[in-house]
Amino acid sequence: MDVNQGEIPSLYRAFKNDFLIGAAVNPVTLNSQKEFIIKHFNSLTSENNMKFENLQPEEGNFTFDHADDLVSFARNHEMNVRGHTLVWHNQTPDWFFENKNGGITDRQTLLERMKSHIVTVMERYKGQINSWDVVNEAIADNGTQLLRDSKWKQIIGDDFIDKAFEFAHIADPGAELFYNDYNESDPEKREKIYKMTKGLIERGVPIHGIGLQAHWNLSNPSLDHIREAIERYASLGLRLHITEMDISVFSFEDKRTDLKAPTAEMAAEQTQRYKNLFKLLREYSDVISSVTFWGVADNYTWLDDFPVRGRKNWPLLFDRDLKPKQSFWEVVDL
Ligand code: HAH
């Protein structure tokens, strides 16, 4: 590493009056970039190690090692932790939805398993994990249907979301509870998320915030749509977190695989985009209290495998050598 990090300002300090600045980490990125992470971030999310399949791969057999490591690292360095995630249709093991014969289990059993998972996990980190993505991605992407057709919904029914929040609030009454989703700025999906979370509030379900994943690209969603989404969600009186931000250099439909580095045009657009986005987010720092990137630097990102397997992407503020990109300088200079 030939970058003199001493001459580089800290990312999170640049936003200390606005919001926390977080990164999603995994055991490899955390252990290999400790000093860098401590310097630039004051909040951490586990990319995968707090997901159901990792915390409870078999019934009653909890595996907390990696999650414990992250939480104690954060505590030692006075960093915030976002818990991600308790109830999700992905990365949840089959046993959870099955009965002894391998068939589909019943509502009562699933509710008990859900409660046991939420309570075990949240009690372990009480006072150490400040906010939890209690339910992730429960809204249907397209069409008129409100909720995604998941096993949670099929077996428990539409009130699985209410129950998840109720159990979470019992487990740790001090934790901020979030509903988290992607394509959150798309007007159609936004209205569904709004409607669902408004229903929770009206029924007295303990929800405190909405997580906007912010898996965005160079041109989508538009700044107007992002602004409208922030205002719409904030009108519910909920706190907002940007939970998984990255700016892909490819549009979702673009499946090209020929690039070894971003083109000059992509790099310039990304710089302008990050600048515009942080200007906008900062305008709303009274409702947005945390902005987390879904990764640390361009040396590793989940987008290297999504939506095109094995295709490199460069969506973050630091390059593959942990050097600040032009985007970083624009953002800290705002
Ligand atoms: C997110 N899904 C998940 O919340 C996170 O846990 C995972 O590590 C990566 C991304 C985003 C997503 C998407 O942008 C498009 C389709 C499905 C899921």
**289-310 pLDDT, tens per residue?**
999 999 999 999 999 999 999 9
Tell me: cis bond preceding 63? Omega within 30 of 0 counts. Answer: no
pLDDT in tens, 228-240: 999 999 999 999 9
**pLDDT tens figures, 93-114:** 999 999 999 999 999 999 999 9
Cα(119)–Cα(249) distance, integer angstroms: 40
CB-ligand 1 contact for 302 (6 Å cutoff): yes
Single-letter amino acid code for the residue at 99: N
User: Does 26 sit in the ligand 1 pocket, CB within 6 Å?
Assistant: no
pLDDT of residue 1: 47
Is residue 242 within 8 A of residue 281, CB to CB? The reply is yes
**Overall average pLDDT of the 82-103 stretch:** 97
Percent of the chain with pLDDT over 90: 98
Q: Which residue type is seen at 160?
A: F
Residue minimizing CA distance to atom 2 of ligand 1: 182
Q: How many angstroms does the Cα of residue 88 sit away from the middle of ligand 1?
A: 10
pLDDT-derived band at 313 (thresholds 50, 70, 90) equals very high
- Residue 333, pLDDT score: 93
Residue 127's pLDDT is 96
- Per-residue pLDDT, 3: 63
Supply the pLDDT for residue 110: 98
Q: Percentage of residues in the chain with pLDDT exceeding 70?
A: 99
Using alpha carbons only, give the angle 287, 293, 298 rounded to the nearest 5 degrees: 155
137 is catalytic: yes
**pLDDT for the residue 25:** 98
Read off the pLDDT of each residue in 156-168 and give the average, rounded to a whole number: 98
Rounded to a whole number of angstroms, the CA Rg of the chain reads 20
Instruction: Report the Cα 36 to chain-centroid distance in Å.
Output: 21
What SS3 class is residue 114?
helix
**pLDDT at residue 5 is higher than 80:** no
Q: Whose CA is nearest to atom 17 of ligand 1?
A: 182
Q: Is 215 in the pocket of ligand 1 (CB under 6 A)?
A: yes
Please state, in angstroms and rounded to a whole number, the distance separating the CA atoms of residues 59 and 116: 10
**Protein residue with least CA distance to atom 11, ligand 1:** 182
pLDDT of residue 69: 98
pLDDT tens digits for range 248-265: 999 999 999 999 999 999
Q: pLDDT tens-digit profile of 173-207?
A: 999 999 999 999 999 999 999 999 999 999 999 99
- What pTM was computed for the model? 0.97
From 137, 166, 176, 184, active-site residue: 137
- Residue 17: is its pLDDT beyond 50? yes
Among 166, 176, 184, 244, the active-site one is 244
For the CA of 136, the nearest atom of ligand 1: 4
Mean model confidence pLDDT for the chain? 97
